[in-house]
Amino acid sequence: MLRFLRLQNWKSYYEPVEFTMVATRERRHGDRLARVGRSRILPVTAIYGANAAGKSALVDGLEALREIVLESRRAGAMLPLAPHLPEGKDEPTAFAVEIVVSAVGTDDVADRVFYYELAADRRRIHRELLAQVKSRTKELLFERENDVTLYGELDDDARARAHAMVVAPNETLLGALGAERDGTVGVVWDWFAHRLNIIHPESMYMHLLARINADAVFSRAMSSGLTRADTGISEVRLEEMKMEALPVGADQLTGLLEGLRERGGTFVIAVGGADHAILSLTDEGEPTARRLVTVHEREDGPAPEQRSSFTLPLREESDGTQRFMNLLPILFQLRDKNSRSVFVVDELENSMHPKLTEDCISSFLEGLGADDRCQLIFTTHEIQLMRSDLLRRDEIWLADKVDGQSRLTRVSDFAGIGVRKDADLLSFYMSGRLGGVPRI
């Protein structure tokens, strides 16, 4: 889980801004909060704000940090950083995160909390630090400024010492050590690589066809979810298509088929728009191409035999339906009791009906308890979600821009002006008293 994020000199944020998922003392919906040591961690957070207030910049900052940690780059390659141009174009950008890593054991879940700090410009890393957070102290694992200092288990590790001596100026030590996936540092690297998921409005779930092809349970769940959402879709399935309709040349197709015969598996090929096809071999070794289609049923009369159906390629579905199809697998994973993932979604409601967006959130929150370790963090303009029966005050943040700089405020910080736990949050927000609304 994400406990804490700090940004400084990143896009529209120049002064340090802090975003926390640690719950306040508010009791509303307390049964769904994760208990980590003495603290309670929120499972959900909504970030509101006017256009260009800094909502997406916050998401982009977390994504940039992940890319800097995980991506290998050639010597001299630039780091993906975007400082605040009016004030900080010649200064480093700084990030800090505090994360909860859960190792599932035989009888319990062992939580460990880590703090990671990074300061860099586009050419090099200025500062890097990793520590494990204990109940009262931080136990350093490594610290890097001009030189690298290793502590504890890393100081006794010959490979860690070797990496520390040759780490490149534009490379993180966390990335170099963690990619080997050994020991404590590997656990932190794995959080960035496999637990943190960033979803943009244009993001597509690239494994959709492969999972529908290989997993009947997943396919039925997708069909059921789309039917329940009143999209008019009764089923999603793969439909045969002509091989010559694939947008690949004859030589390329020959190469793909040779690869399938040698290694097995499948290839997913972009056909056009939202449409993709899956290329595979039958049991007899014959090539087959199938594309994803949606099935719509039509009632021509009251009797079952008077029902008919037709199929549509995915590109013919509405933007909202396509968006929902790509978000459904996320919802399935969030509802999995064994899930240990953080999903950060920019513009969650994009192209979707408000009721459908609300249903996604309430479905995720339903049944959560102190032992669950998954989170949904999203930006939104959908004000109908700003209700105390759905979200707590500390689960709502407001992004605002003042004098050319973005800032973040949690709604619970406004308790002093009457924003009680049962207050009409929407009225307070729309009145402009909390900020985060357009100045029209």
Domains and CATH numbers, the chain: 2-200+346-430 (3.40.50), 208-323 (no CATH)
pLDDT in tens, 39-56: 999 999 999 998 899 999
Question: Which of the four pLDDT bands, split at 50, 70 and 90, describes residue 426?
Answer: low
pLDDT in tens, 131-163: 999 877 889 999 999 899 999 889 989 999 999
pLDDT, average across residues 294-311: 75
In terms of pLDDT, which residue wins out, 86 or 422? 86
Alpha helices in 310-353, H assignment, sequence order = 319-335
Q: Is the pLDDT of residue 370 over 80?
A: yes
- Which two three-digit tokens encode residue 76? 């001299």
Q: Is the pLDDT of residue 97 over 90?
A: yes
Q: What is the pLDDT of residue 208?
A: 86
In terms of pLDDT, which residue wins out, 72 or 107? 72
- Which two three-digit tokens encode residue 75? 């010597």
Q: What is the pLDDT of residue 107?
A: 45
Question: Which of the four pLDDT bands, split at 50, 70 and 90, describes residue 179?
Answer: confident
For residues 89 and 60, the answer to whether their CB atoms sit within 8 Å is no
Question: Which of the four pLDDT bands, split at 50, 70 and 90, describes residue 105?
Answer: very low
Q: Is the pLDDT of residue 395 over 80?
A: yes
Question: Which of the four pLDDT bands, split at 50, 70 and 90, describes residue 424?
Answer: low
Question: Which of the four pLDDT bands, split at 50, 70 and 90, describes residue 181?
Answer: low
Measure the N-to-C terminal CA separation of the chain; round to a whole number of Å: 38
Q: What gap in Å lies between CA 138 and CA 294, rounded to an integer?
A: 53
Partner residues linked to 6 by β-bridges: 18, 96
Number of Cβ within 10 Å of residue 113's Cβ equals 20
Question: Which of the four pLDDT bands, split at 50, 70 and 90, describes residue 130?
Answer: very high
In terms of pLDDT, which residue wins out, 384 or 254? 254
For residues 47 and 378, the answer to whether their CB atoms sit within 8 Å is yes
Q: What is the pLDDT of residue 417?
A: 60
Question: Which of the four pLDDT bands, split at 50, 70 and 90, describes residue 228?
Answer: confident
Q: What gap in Å lies between CA 211 and CA 208, rounded to an integer?
A: 5
Q: What is the pLDDT of residue 428?
A: 66
DSSP H or E run through 358: helix 354-365
Q: What is the DSSP string of 230-266?
A: TSS--EEEEEEE-GGGSSS-HHHHHHHHHHHHHH-S-
Q: What percent of the chain has pLDDT over 90?
A: 58
For residues 276 and 287, the answer to whether their CB atoms sit within 8 Å is no
Q: Is the pLDDT of residue 194 over 90?
A: yes
Q: What is the pLDDT of residue 413?
A: 84
Q: What gap in Å lies between CA 76 and CA 403, rounded to an integer?
A: 35
Maximum separation of any 2 CA atoms in the chain, in Å: 78
pLDDT in tens, 303-317: 666 578 899 998 899
pLDDT in tens, 409-420: 998 887 666 666
Question: Which of the four pLDDT bands, split at 50, 70 and 90, describes residue 106?
Answer: very low
pLDDT, average across residues 263-270: 90
Which DSSP state fits 13? B
Which DSSP state fits 305? G
pLDDT, average across residues 232-250: 91
pLDDT, average across residues 179-191: 87
Ramachandran angles phi, psi of 417, nearest 5°: -110, 20
Q: Is the pLDDT of residue 91 over 90?
A: yes
